[in-house]
Structure 1
Amino acid sequence: MQEAGLLNQSTLVTYFKLQGLSVNRKVQVAMFVMVLILYVLTLIGNILIVITITYDRRLHTPMYFFLSNLSFIDVCHSTVTVPKMLIDTWSEEKLISFDACVTQMFFLHLFACTEIFLLTVMAYDRYVAICKPLQYMTVINWKVCVLLAVTIWTGGTIHSIALTSLTIRLPYCGPDEIDNFFCDVPQVVKLACTDTHIIEILIISNSGLISVVCFVVLVVSYTVILVSLRQQVHKGRWKALSTCAAHLTVVTLFLGHCIFIYSRPSISLREDKVFSMFFTAVTPLLNPIIYTLRNTDMKNALNKLMCRKERKETK
């Protein structure tokens, strides 16, 4: 009878209420306009990068292969949360079903964890290219690129399944209000009507540890790169420094959020929504800005693609 009662309690919550970004209507409208612009620019910029790399044979190199993967992930990552948030701006209740919430959590962690692994792989790619240029095509060949891509996607999937499984096994019988504008594991676990101390430790051990370890690996990689740049000529040094600085900017903003959110107990802070906004709407836009506007090869390829399109339209 006790187990049956617990089962009935665990099925009481069929919908969660999302608090959104703000209760102030004017702030909500302003955020809607800003986030909509950021999302549209994210889609256009990242999709354009994928198309450009696909059609320009000169960009069929390991570095741009990983960059196209990063653009694809950024499109998917922002699409998991932003459209729902935009729709909820005009809704009073901001409801999300339990199944939709679980689905959102699964894909959020799938794309986020895969991107963390991909950024780490991209750092290794830059390390080999700068520190061991003569061995680059041997170490980072196409077979290795495909193997690394399969590995990071598999790792992200396993990570997401593990976290989602831990979350859906908990009983939810109220409260049902999530203190954010999307479903995430820490906020949802906090609503379970049972002791979640062990689950929170597992979340920190999983997501938090992955973020911290990858960040340390990235810092060590770039430290080695910077040391090796001391032996290069002035022009090559500044070009390599520019590439590393761009990569570090994306890494710091992205992993900074993950470390802040997942390396502590499931408690709500005022800064959470700000970090989440950067995580879901701002960071995915940095990819096309940093890797396209500051990259001569990408700008030349984009111009070539635009010229080809104009020629087709005039015929």
Structure 2
Amino acid sequence: MPQSTQLKIGTLILLLTLISCRHIKPSAGPTDLQATPQVYFDRYPVRDSLLAVEESEFKNRLMYTKTQFRLTYADGDAERVVKLEFYRTKKGHGPRPTLNVVPIRAGSYVVSRLLARWAARRGYNAVIVKRPTKWFRTSHSVEDLEQIFRGALSDHRSVLAWLRERPEVDKKRMGIVGTSLGAFTGVMLAALEPQIKMNFLLMGGQDFSKIILNSEDEGVVKWVAARMALNGMTKEELRLKIKEHIISDPLAVSKYIDPKKVVQVITKKDKDVPAASQWELWESLNRPEAYVFPVGHYTMAIYLRPILRRFKKHLKRLL
């Protein structure tokens, strides 16, 4: 096939892909938004005993610097080490708006780093808080998952508090961008950190008891099989146990979030974070602005450029 024909076909496919994106305008939102109850702040506290701050790596790029930090906190009788990457933009002067880029469930930080670099080149600082552990190891019990999530939420809140004290960070202009499990975390943080100005949530859902049992994510499927085999449980019994013990769920806090600060990206053919759960989150968030793409979890990558264009638009509007 001639190269010119291939180019035309490729252009046609791209145009058809872009046309198929659906934009949902935000609803008016609630007139009586409730404040997040104190019980949630107590459950996911900011760690206030910072023992040490270490820089383990520094890289100087054309448009930003990247620094690896280790923050050590007192954690009862033990210590809690939180690792993070901080991207300080060189664009602009004085304190800059800053994004918390929340990573996916497992694997490398390719997506998070791509977003952080993209933001830093455009005048935004960015931070990636490292996962305390890989999620859904087959050795993890249901109770383990709840404790891991609680610890991670306190890690993020503690890092946000630390960032607000840094001179290069504009503490009044901070946002969250989360992908997949990172979007779940983003919803929780939006309720716990109401001063956050923007929440850009890609492929996030709610109700872990449904999502875990219906997800086709390989790691989650293996975890479900391991739990059922080890405990001799049916899927329904496991679902009920998840419902009882994993209470750190966007389902619990979404009603406390101002939908005007939220932009949601929904993948309507997703089988890893089932599309139904993404729509349920959208409803619980009082129908914020959303973009709907006719793809699955990983094929979302073909929409990267249009997503970034929309992301840039909302960064300018909200931060």
TM-score of the aligned structures, taking structure 1 as reference length? 0.29
Compare relative contact order (CA 8 Å, sep 6+) and give the higher one, 1 or 2. Answer: 1
Q: Larger Rg: 1 or 2?
A: 1
More helix by share: 1
Could you state the TM-score of these two structures normalised by the residue count of structure 2?
0.29
